[in-house]
Structure 1
Amino acid sequence: MNQAPFLPVNHPQPKFLRWLGSLWKFSRPHTIIGTSFSVLSLYLIALGNISDFFSHWPVLLLTWVACIAGNVYIVGLNQLEDIDIDKINKPQLPLAKGEFSPLTGGLIVGFTGILAIILAFIGGFWLLITVGISLLIGTAYSLPPVRLKRFPLWAAFCIFTVRGVIVNLGLFRHYNTVINQNQSIYPSVWVLTAFVLVFTFAIAIFKDVPDLEGDRIYQITTFTLLLGPEKILTISLLTISLCYAGMIAVGLLGITGINSPLAIVAHLLLLLLLWWRSRGVNLEDKSEISRFYQFIWKLFFLEYLIFPLACLI
C-alpha cells in the first residue's frame, strides 16, 4: 500500500513573537546595531581600560536604552511619514506591509520618544543634550512641514550631523563627565568623530540608491536622482576610501592614544575589502544594491570595534 509522503507541519508562530519580529523590522536593525556599537565604543574609550568594563555598567545600560529608544523614535517617525513610498521602496517594513497599523506605529514612536527623553534626563546634562538634539533633527528630517529629507543636502546633513558629530562628541562628553568627572574630549575621539562624519556622508548618499523608483514617483529629490546610481557608487567608494586613508595617516603620524600598527593594518585591509566587494555590485539589481548598502553599514560597525581596540591596546 502506498503511503503519502511525510509533509512537515508548519506551526503558526505565536502572535506575540510575530509582533516582536515586526517591531524588530520597524526598528531598522542596522541602525540599532550601529547605535549600539557607538554607545559601547565611546564607553570603552572613556574607561581607558577594558578591565574596568563592569565598573560603570549602570551608566552604559542607561545610555544604551536611551539611545536605542531615540533611534526607534527617529526611524519609526520616518516610516510613519513614508508609508506609501515604502510600499514601493521597502514593502517588507511593517507599516508598508500592513503588519502594524499607523496607530500602532504612532504609539511606538510616541512611547520611545518620551522614554528617550526621560532616560536622558536621568542620565545627565550631556546625555539629554545628545538625545534631545538627535530627536529634534530626526523630527525635522521626516515630519512636515519641514521634512528636510526632501532636500538632498539637508537630508545628508541630518544624517552625518547626528551620527558623526552629535553622537560621538555628545556621548563621549557624557561618559567622561559621569565616569571621570572630566569634560574634555580626547584627541582620539576627535579622530573618530572626523572619520564617522565623513563615512556617514557615504551612507547618507548611498542609502537612496535602492529607493530610486519610489523617490522618483513621490518626487523626493535625492542625490541618486540628480546624479545617477553609478556616480553615487563612485562617490561613496571614494568617500569611504578617504576615511580609511585618513586613518592610515593617523597611524603613520602616531597620534597619542591610538595604536599605530593596528590602525594602519586594519584600515588597509578594510580598504582592500571595500574595493574587492564593490566589484560585484550590479546597479540594475535592487537586491544587490541593498546588500551592498548593508555591507557599507557593516564596515561602519567594524570601525566602532576596531577603533576602541586601537585606543585600548
Structure 2
Amino acid sequence: MDSAFVRSFPNAPSLTTGGNLRHTKNIYYANCYVPKVLEHKSKTQIEHKFWRLRQPSLNHHYQCTGWGSTYQERSRKYDVKATPEPSFDSKRSASDSKNILDCVKSFLTAFYKLSIPVATITRILSIISASLLAVEKLSDISPIFFIGVLQVMVPHLFMDIYINGVNQLFDIEIDKINKPYLPLASGEISYKTGVIVVASSLTLSLCFGWIIGSWPLIWGLLSCFLIWTAYSIDVPLLRWKKYPLLAAMCMFVTWAFVCPIAFFLHMQTFVFKKPVVFPRSLVFVVVFISFYFVGMALYKDIPDIEGDKTYGINSLPTRIGLKRAFWISISLLEIPFGVALLAGATSSSHLWIKIITGFGHAALASLLWYKAKSVDLKSKASIASFYIFIWKVLSMEYFLMPFIR
C-alpha cells in the first residue's frame, strides 16, 4: 500500500514527516494529497497536508503510524476505518413520503371545503327523513330499508359534489370577493383539478344510479343535474343564478319537489315494492320545504351582494336593498313553522307525538327569530354565520318531519 500511495502522486519525489506531525497517532480524513516540494536555502523539507472532504455515505478515517527522518523515505502503515451513515436515498425517501402525506392532507381539506359539508349533511338527513315517510310499521325498518337508504345516499352525495363544484368553477372571480376561503378561489385546488373532480363526481353519481336501477332515483339525479347545471354555467340562455326568480326556483324545485318525492318513491316502489301513493306526511314535507327554501334562496344572495354588484348579477338584494331583503327572507323562513304547528295539531298521531312536534317546531321558530335579531347586517361574517345557522335549523327539522302523519 505504501508504494501504491506514492505512485498515485507522480510529482512527489519522496514522503517525509513534516514539522506538524507528532509521535502520537493522528487521524486524517480522505481524500488526501501531497503538495509540491518547497525548496529552502538551508534545507528541503516536504510537509504533509491532509485535507478533510466529506463523502456522502462513508467517512473514511486514515490512521498514520510510524516515524521517519528527513531526506529518507520511511514505510508507513495506513489503517482504513469506515463509519456508515444513513444513505442519502433513505433520507430523500423519508422526506418524499412526508411531502406526499402533506399533499394528500391538504387536498382532502380542500376537497372537504369544495363539497360544502353543511349542505351535504342536510342532504343526508333529508334522505333519511323522506325514506322514513314510507315506513308504515316498525317491521319495515329492516336491513332492506337501510340498503335502500344507502342506494339513495351514495349517488346523491356525488351529485352534491358536482353541484357545489360546478358552481364554484364558474364563480371563481366572484368568490374571490365574496368567499375567498373556498378552495378554487383561494388556489388550494387548481382549475384543472376542479374540473376533474367535478366531472368524476357527476360520472360516478349517474353510474351508481344506473347500476342500482331505480327509476325514481335516476329521475331525481338527472333532474338535479339539469337544474343546477343551468343555474351555474355561463352560456347563453342559462346561468339562471343571474335572475332572482329563476335562482329561487332552482332551490325551490330541487329541495321541495325533486328530492323528497324521488327519495320517497324509491323506498315505496323500488325497495318495499308497494304501489305509488302520496301520503299526508309527504304533502306536509313538500309544503314546508317550499316556503323554507324560497326564504333560503332569497337569503343566499345576501352574503354575495358585493360580488354580485361588481359583476352585474341583479339579485333581489341588490335591487331592493340589504335590510329589506333580509327581513323578507326571515318572514318566509318563519311561515313553514306555522304550517307545521297546524299540521301537527290536526294529525292522526298519538297525543304525546303531537306535543313533541308542537314544542319542537315552536322552539325552532323562536330560535330562528332570536338569532335573526342579533345579526349585524354590516358584518359579512355575521351574515354568513346566520346562513349556516339556517341550514342547521333545517337539519333539526328533518328529525321532526317523519312524526307528522
TM normalised by structure 2 equals 0.71
For residue 275 of structure 1, give the secondary structure of its aligned residue in structure 2. Answer: helix
How far is the alpha carbon of 1:54 from its aligned partner? 3.4
| 1:175 lines up with 2:264 in the alignment | no
Say whether the 8 Å CA contact 1:188–1:256 is kept in structure 2: no
Query: 4+ residue stretches of structure 1 with deviation over 3 A?
Result: 48-51, 255-259
Aligned-partner Cα distance in 2 for 1:206–1:49? 39
Residue of structure 1 equivalent to 2:193: 104
- Of Structure 1 and Structure 2, the greater strand share is in 2
Distance 1:57 1:275, change over 3 A: same
TM normalised by structure 1 equals 0.91
What amino acid does structure 2 have at the position aligned with 1:102? Y
How far is the alpha carbon of 1:49 from its aligned partner? 4.8
Residue of structure 2 equivalent to 1:281: 375
Say whether the 8 Å CA contact 1:208–1:224 is kept in structure 2: yes
Distance 1:256 1:310, change over 3 A: closer
Residue of structure 1 equivalent to 2:256: 164
Residue of structure 2 equivalent to 1:70: 159
Residue of structure 2 equivalent to 1:294: 388
Residue of structure 2 equivalent to 1:22: 110
Residue of structure 2 equivalent to 1:241: 334
Aligned length: 301
Say whether the 8 Å CA contact 1:44–1:50 is kept in structure 2: no
In structure 1, stretches of 5+ residues that fail to align are 1-10
Larger radius of gyration between Structure 1 and Structure 2: 2
- Give matches, 1:142-291, under 5 Å: 142-145=232-235, 146-182=238-274, 183-254=276-347, 259-291=353-385
Aligned-partner Cα distance in 2 for 1:73–1:255? 40
For residue 133 of structure 2, give the secondary structure of its aligned residue in structure 1. Answer: helix
How far is the alpha carbon of 1:255 from its aligned partner? 5.0
- Of Structure 1 and Structure 2, the greater helix share is in 1
What amino acid does structure 2 have at the position aligned with 1:172? F
In structure 2, stretches of 5+ residues that fail to align are 1-97
Residue of structure 2 equivalent to 1:3: none
Say whether the 8 Å CA contact 1:69–1:116 is kept in structure 2: yes
Say whether the 8 Å CA contact 1:47–1:179 is kept in structure 2: no
How far is the alpha carbon of 1:261 from its aligned partner? 2.1
Say whether the 8 Å CA contact 2:347–2:404 is kept in structure 1: no
Aligned-partner Cα distance in 2 for 1:95–1:49? 47
| 1:134 lines up with 2:212 in the alignment | no
How far is the alpha carbon of 1:137 from its aligned partner? 0.2
What amino acid does structure 2 have at the position aligned with 1:68? L
Distance 1:177 1:230, change over 3 A: same
Say whether the 8 Å CA contact 2:344–2:404 is kept in structure 1: no
Aligned-partner Cα distance in 2 for 1:15–1:98? 14
Aligned-partner Cα distance in 2 for 1:54–1:208? 42
How far is the alpha carbon of 1:308 from its aligned partner? 2.1
